[in-house]
Amino acid sequence: MNPLFRTEELGLSYNGKAVLSGVSLEFSPGCVTAVVGPNGAGKSTLLSILAGLRRNYAGRCLYRGREVRDWARRAFAREVAFIPQTVRIEFPFTVEQVVLMGRTPYCKGLFEGPEDWEAAENAMRLTDVLELRHRDYRSLSGGERQRAILASVLAQEPHALILDEPATFLDLQHQIAIHSLLRELARQGMLVLTATHDLNLAAAFADRIVALRQGRVYCDSPPQEVVSAANIEAVFGVRAEVFRTPEGKPWVHYGRL
């Protein structure tokens, strides 16, 4: 399948210091990719460039063959959705209002139409927040918030979904539920790109792992190849042992702490 995203020598500098450089990657629909790496490796920077939030990048970043910064903002928001690490909301928005905000790139007037409500309700059903729809977002638990935010981006009906550490606040049950949902979305043809610290999680549900180190791509392969003791030591500076699960997926044990 044709890749949706293609970057060539992509880079970004803050005050002359390169936080990302020489990144040349392709991302195709229907594939779940996990971006791993230690803090400061450039994961969030890479994701926010792909999400269209940083337009001052160097090199090329193409979505459907067109430079991301050249896309009309609304049209791009109908294609690519993004979940940041944390969403703090200070004002009393209900879950339903938060989810409906995802319909912004489709709405012309002041009010949502029937198709907007349908998309929002489908999204709330998928992430299991329909019963919470009239609750104040601020009164939700961390996991419920994460699911409400996920519903908001699903209401955007994107072709590519970019998530910056989506499972951080989730309990085990919802972590598994969210990741099976992401897998299912990918099976239906969505491009899913997620940053994570958790190698075991990445190995379990991603088709492909991109490991970043100091702003550069260190390796980019299926989990079985990326997750090795040598790579973990090179990328994270941590000694680890890698086992295999019964299904043959890598399982990382970090040894003595």
Partner 1 sequence: MAVSERNHRGRFWPPLLLTAALALAALVALPLVGPAQISYARALAGQSPDAEILFYARLPRVLLALLAGGALAAAGALFQALLRDALATPYTLGVSSGASLGAVIAISAGWGTLAGWPAVWLSALAGAALVLALVVGIASEGRRMSSFTLLLAGVTINSICLAGILFLQYAAGFSQSFAIVRWLLGGIDAVEYKTLAGLATVVLLFAAYLTRQSRGWNLMAVGEEWAAARGVHVQRLMLSGYIAGSLVAGTVTSITGPIGFVGLIVPHALRLRLGADHRLLMPCSFFTGAAFLALCDTVARTAFSPAEIPVGVITAMTGGPFFIWILRSGRRSLWL
Closest approach of Cβ 185 to partner 1, in Å?
18
- Between 106 and 218, CB nearer to partner 1: 106
Residue 69: CB minimum distance to partner 1, A: 12
Nearer to partner 1, 4 or 227 (CB): 4
Q: Of the two residues 99 and 209, which places its CB atom closer to partner 1 in the complex?
A: 99
Q: How far is the CB of 79 from partner 1 (least distance, A)?
A: 10
**Hey, what are 135's tokens?**
């609750």
With respect to partner 1, which residue has the nearer C-beta, 90 or 247?
90
Q: Provide, rounded to whole angstroms, the least separation between the CB of residue 51 and partner 1.
A: 6
Residue 127 CB contacts under 8 Å (≥ 6 apart), including other chains: 147, 148, 150, 151, 154, 178, 181
Give the residue with the Cβ less far from partner 1, 28 or 97.
97
- In whole angstroms, how close is the CB of 72 to partner 1 at the nearest point? 8
Residues found near partner 1 in the complex (CB under 8 A): 48, 51-53, 73-78, 81-82, 84, 87-94, 97-98, 101-102, 104-105, 107, 110-114, 117-118, 121, 156
